[in-house]
Amino acid sequence: MEKVVSEAEELPKAIVRRVVKEKLSECSPDYDFNVHKDALLAFSESARIFIHYLSATANNICKESKRQTMNAEDVFKALEEIEFSEFVKPLGASLAEFKKKNAGKKVDQSRKMRRKRRENRGFICRKRNQNQAKETG
Amino acid sequence: MDSNKQAESSSYPPTSSITPPPAIPPAPFHHLLQQQQQQLQMFWSYQRQEIEQVNDFKNHQLPLARIKKIMKADEDVRMISAEAPVLFAKACELFILELTIRSWLHAEENKRRTLQKNDIAAAITRTDIFDFLVDIVPRDEIKDEAGLGGMVGATASGVPYFYPPMGQPTGGPAGPGGLMIGRPAVDPTGGMYAQQPSQAWQSVWQTAGPDDGSYASRGSGGQGNLDGQG
């Protein structure tokens, strides 16, 4: 594969490597499987193109529904369209988990934001007073 | 721990002289201890939470920001809901797993314990739904490895044709690779791969139909965007 000086973002090599190696040790638990460096690159590139492929398909579906924002439904439909329908179930589970986790987070986040804003306001007021004092002093 | 020592030293009858009593009066010390214990408890429960969170994140190991950047490299893609990168991360992981398994199969067939690029190329060639990757991992990288079970080849036009299986002993890797009767003079660019283990693959090829048709029809939306990328 040519080395492209990427304007293209790549997936982190370490993570790709871990996913591959874990699966390989599952496939052949009795002996160690190695992965050639070029093969790892091929995995990364393939995954990146998969993202593009799925993304473009989902985007088309989104636009056909006259919407601007690609959502989960679009992605699920896209998976069916590109014949990766066996991904739909595990992805659904993953999404449910993510939503559950973030339900709690959202409340925390908004509290933190309110606190931050209060602090910032206090800070700005103090700064303004300091500057005024400097100017008049 | 200190309080234990304290208790013990007071219970040791004659040797209590060896461990002098603490200079600090017991009541505030005890209070400090309680505080310390509380803090330790909090510390450990927090650590446990952290660990659990890391395990949860095993599902989204691929960084969402990076995925979003990759998606946005396609100018047609404008706004993405917050859930989308999460789905893509998981889908990517599943995809890599699929590709790994199929590549591994090819390596196993060729009695290797190192996954090579040509294993991935073979997996792509063998799997219809991986057609979108045909140009990414070039097929001319596929080496002719095993002997001469049934043989399948593809011309540059992508229409598969196949030879009847030779009366050849199966098993045994890397035969004299050049010995292929009936092979066209021009070596089709890497479309050939020999299959030893089972005749199952032959039947897959038989029903596959011309590559061109299926390739063109699938993911037509996606195909256009792939030009000039990757």
Rg over alpha carbons for chain B, rounded to the nearest Å, is 32
Coil, helix or strand for B159? coil
Tell me the residue type at A11.
Answer: L
Q: Would an 8 Å CB–CB cutoff place B42 in contact with chain A?
A: no
Confidence grade of residue A126 (pLDDT, cut at 50, 70, 90): confident
The dihedral over CA atoms of A116, A122, A125, A129, expressed in degrees to the nearest 10, equals -140
Average pLDDT of span A1-7:
55
pTM of the model: 0.56
pLDDT at res. B187 = 42
Contacts of B170 (CB under 8 A, 6+ apart): B147, B149, B196
pLDDT at res. A21 = 95
Higher-confidence residue: B32 or B55? B32
Tell if the CB–CB gap between B221 and A71 is shorter than 8 Å. Answer: no
For residue B5, give Cα distances in angstroms to A20, B2, B23.
Answer: 53, 5, 14
Closest partner residue to A27 (CB to CB) among B70, B101, B138 is B101
Tell if the CB–CB gap between A75 and B62 is shorter than 8 Å. Answer: no
Which CATH number is associated with domain A7-83?
A: 1.10.20.10
Question: Each residue of B12-49: pLDDT tens digit?
Answer: 455 545 566 556 556 678 888 888 888 888 888 888 77
Q: Is the pLDDT of residue A14 over 60?
A: yes
Higher-confidence residue: A38 or B197? A38
Closest partner residue to A56 (CB to CB) among B66, B117, B222 is B222
Contacts of A71 (CB under 8 A, 6+ apart): A62, B81, B83, B84
Rounded percentage of chain A residues whose pLDDT exceeds 90: 65
Question: Each residue of B139-169: pLDDT tens digit?
Answer: 764 455 554 444 444 444 444 444 444 444 4
**Phi, psi for A104 (deg, rounded to 5):** -70, -40
